[in-house]
């Protein structure tokens, strides 16, 4: 693994968002007197062939998160379409501080998230797709949920107010069946345990050994920490307009293997 493209932005215009008084838990490191300011939120974005979507995500993120000191950690698996170079370019020009983690080959979404979390500097980590299915407008609310006392904040399609747009019927069906399997098989009460858009305290990602199999890291996090406070925030998932989904038979089989493993571990 190599990292590139790190750059710092100055503190001007940032740092306006504070935890609500009385309910907060201080998860932030003390400000550093010298060098780069420590971000309050690290957004980990795994990428594989997302050349067209990634610049749009970075631009939209910079616009909607003004006032929240965040960094972006892009984890690219040597995408054949050159997404890694696009990410390096974005790191040079964006107002958002960007770290790019380059991995030598496609090793899976969950493991990419874990490597991104290891490179993250903020005490809170959010995970999201590069393809704009996950609205960056929700980042401040996810961060606030963790500041307010949750250990895990899930952007949820399956709570009132949430939903899915432009997804083919088959994809909806697969998602629902997999969700029921995770809930029933592992006793999870979260309504959307398969969401790819969530925030956690960073130590929940870096302080434990996860299998990191396939696509669905959130399921493993929830199953590993059953008693932790979880908040679900509704959002409308919109199917990607650029590039192709990487969910295929291999990922579905990895998900079944993960369920099998987690179920065996808990019994």
Binding site for Mg ion (CB under 5 A): 129, 131, 133
CB of 9 or CB of 179, closer to ligand GDP: 179
Which residues inside 154-213 make contact with ligand GDP, applying CB under 6 A? 196
Measured N-to-C along each axis, helices 53-64 and 83-93 cross at an angle, to the nearest 10 degrees, of 30
- Piece of the chain touching ligand GDP by CB under 6 A; list 23-31, 36-44, 130-138, 155-163: 130-138
* Number of alpha carbons in the 13 Å side-chain half-sphere of residue 198: 32
Quote the CA–CA distance of 1 and 101 in Å, as a whole number. 7
- Report if residue 246 touches ligand GDP, rule: CB under 6 A: yes
Of 105, 96, 10, the residue nearest 54 (C-alpha): 96
CB of 129 or CB of 232, closer to Mg ion: 129
Q: Phi and psi at residue 146, in whole multiples of 5°?
A: -70, -40
CB of 57 or CB of 221, closer to Mg ion: 57
Quote the CA–CA distance of 123 and 133 in Å, as a whole number. 25
CB of 108 or CB of 234, closer to ligand GDP: 108
Which residues inside 7-66 make contact with ligand GDP, applying CB under 6 A? 46-48, 50
Q: Which of 41, 44, 70, 75 binds ligand GDP (CB under 6 A)?
A: 75
Quote the CA–CA distance of 28 and 30 in Å, as a whole number. 6
Say how many Å lie between the first and final Cα of the chain, rounded: 36
Q: Which does 246 bind (CB under 5 to 8 A by kind): ligand GDP, Mg ion, none?
A: ligand GDP
Quote the CA–CA distance of 85 and 83 in Å, as a whole number. 5
Q: Which residues pair with 23 in a beta bridge?
A: none
- Report if residue 126 touches ligand GDP, rule: CB under 6 A: no
Quote the CA–CA distance of 218 and 231 in Å, as a whole number. 13
Q: How far is the CB of 114 from Mg ion (least distance, A)?
A: 18
Q: Which does 192 bind (CB under 5 to 8 A by kind): Mg ion, ligand GDP, none?
A: none
CB of 19 or CB of 196, closer to ligand GDP: 196
Say if residues 224 and 210 touch (Cβ distance below 8 Å): yes
- Report if residue 238 touches ligand GDP, rule: CB under 6 A: no
- Report if residue 106 touches ligand GDP, rule: CB under 6 A: yes
Q: How far is the CB of 57 from Mg ion (least distance, A)?
A: 11
How many residues of this chain bind ligand GDP (CB under 6 A)? 20
Helix (H/G/I), strand (E/B), else coil: 100: strand
CB of 145 or CB of 213, closer to ligand GDP: 213
Q: Which strand ranges, in their side-by-side order, compose the sheet holding 70-76?
A: 2-4, 98-102, 70-76, 41-47, 124-127, 198-201, 152-156, 230-234
Helix (H/G/I), strand (E/B), else coil: 35: coil
Q: Which does 130 bind (CB under 5 to 8 A by kind): Mg ion, ligand GDP, none?
A: ligand GDP
CB of 71 or CB of 76, closer to ligand GDP: 76
Q: How far is the CB of 163 from Mg ion (least distance, A)?
A: 15
Which residues form the interface with ligand GDP (CB under 6 A)?
Answer: 46-48, 50, 75-77, 106-109, 112, 129-131, 133, 196, 245-247
């Amino acid at each position: 693994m190599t990292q590139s493209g790190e750059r710092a932005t100055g503190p001007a215009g940032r740092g306006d968002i504070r935890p609500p008084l009385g309910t907060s838990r201080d998860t932030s490191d003390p400000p550093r007197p010298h060098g780069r300011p420590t971000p309050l939120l690290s957004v980990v974005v795994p990428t594989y062939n997302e050349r067209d979507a990634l610049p749009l995500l970075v631009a939209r993120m910079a616009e909607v998160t003004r006032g929240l000191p965040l960094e972006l950690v892009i984890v690219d698996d040597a995408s054949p379409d050159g997404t890694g170079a696009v990410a390096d370019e974005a790191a040079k020009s964006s107002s958002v501080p960007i770290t790019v983690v380059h991995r030598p080959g496609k090793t899976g979404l969950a493991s990419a998230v874990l490597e991104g979390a290891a490179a993250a500097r903020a005490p809170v980590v959010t995970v999201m797709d590069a393809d704009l299915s996950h609205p960056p407008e929700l980042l401040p609310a996810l961060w606030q949920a963790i500041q307010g006392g949750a250990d895990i904040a899930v952007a949820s399609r399956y709570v009132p107010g949430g939903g899915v747009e432009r997804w083919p019927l088959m994809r909806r069906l697969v998602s629902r069946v997999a969700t029921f399997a995770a809930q029933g098989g592992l006793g999870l009460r979260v309504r959307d345990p398969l969401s790819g858009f969530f925030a956690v305290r960073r130590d929940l990602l870096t302080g434990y050994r996860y299998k990191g199999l396939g696509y669905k890291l959130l399921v493993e996090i929830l199953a590993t920490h059953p008693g932790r406070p979880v908040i679900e925030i509704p959002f409308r998932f919109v199917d990607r307009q650029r590039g192709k989904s990487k969910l295929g038979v291999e990922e579905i089989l990895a998900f079944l293997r993960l369920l099998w493993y987690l179920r065996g571990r808990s019994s």
